[in-house]
Chain A
Amino acid sequence: AQRVTQPEKLLSVFKGAPVELKCNYSYSGSPELFWYVQYSRQRLQLLLRHISRESIKGFTADLNKGETSFHLKKPFAQEEDSAMYYCALSRPRGSARQLTFGSGTQLTVLP
């Protein structure tokens, strides 16, 4: 069974400090990993996906297959980064590609 674990429900950092949101997964195979973000009073939106190896809004995430982790990182947090972050896993292309979400981490960036 596939599972996504986000160990921290709440995370607070000061503006300008580095931030790391943890995500661990279990899946027998090679999944696709995503980070979704939900800002206050906005809908859930895709932040980044591991296949793209991209940096969005200064965030990056590296897939570590050995540790089955996909942690989200940003070197210098900004107040506008305050939001709920969800890590999600999907089966590889070609099959029903539903997302399995973690329970989320509420990030608060303090001034």
Chain B
Amino acid sequence: ETGVTQSPTHLIKTRGQQVTLRCSSQSGHNTVSWYQQALGQGPQFIFQYYREEENGRGNFPPRFSGLQFPNYSSELNVNALELDDSALYLCASSTDGYYGYTFGSGTRLTVV
């Protein structure tokens, strides 16, 4: 059984650019969530996908968007990057969230 894998592990982008982060869910999991974790803070919920449809969104602007594919892998896209977008981005998958989520190691995004 594989866990949740995220790519890339580190990324440096310039303000105003666009970025795509990728996540491969744990086998058998049909729900994926994305979180942003700023330094010294707990993870903050961005959005969640269930069977390829967004079914929950946190307090993030529309320039944060996502996709979930039929194989339950997922992407997080961020347009018009801002300096405050610098953070660790975590992907988490679950069967339905009831029994807790399995987290990936994250992608460290730095915007300069």
Residues of A within 8 A of B (CB): 4, 6, 32, 34, 36, 43-46, 49, 86, 88, 90, 93, 96-104
Q: Which residue of A lies closest to B100 (CB)?
A: A46
Q: What is the interface size of chain B, counting residues whose CB is below 8 A from a CB of the partner?
A: 27
> Could you tell me the distance in whole angstroms from the C-beta of B43 to the nearest C-beta in chain A?
5
Chain A residue contacts of B55, Cβ below 8 A: 96
Residue of B31, B35, B94, B100 with most chain A CB atoms under a 10 A cut-off: B100
How far apart sit A98 and B99, CA to CA, in the bound complex (Å)?
Answer: 12
Q: Is the CB of B104 within 8 A of A96?
A: no
Does B97 count as interface, using CB distance less than 8 angstroms? yes
How far apart sit A4 and B90, CA to CA, in the bound complex (Å)?
Answer: 19
Residue of A90, A98, A99 with most chain B CB atoms under a 10 A cut-off: A98
Of all A-B residue pairs in the complex, the 4 with the closest CB atoms, nearest first, are A96-B56, A97-B97, A101-B42, A46-B100
> Could you tell me the distance in whole angstroms from the C-beta of A94 to the nearest C-beta in chain B?
9
Q: For residues 26 through 52 of chain B, which have their beta carbon under 8 Å from a beta carbon of chain A?
A: 31, 33, 35, 40-45, 48
How far apart sit A49 and B100, CA to CA, in the bound complex (Å)?
Answer: 8
Chain A residue contacts of B56, Cβ below 8 A: 96-98
B42 touches which of A86, A93, A96 (Cβ 8 Å) = A86
Chain B residue contacts of A99, Cβ below 8 A: 33, 35, 43, 45, 92, 97, 101
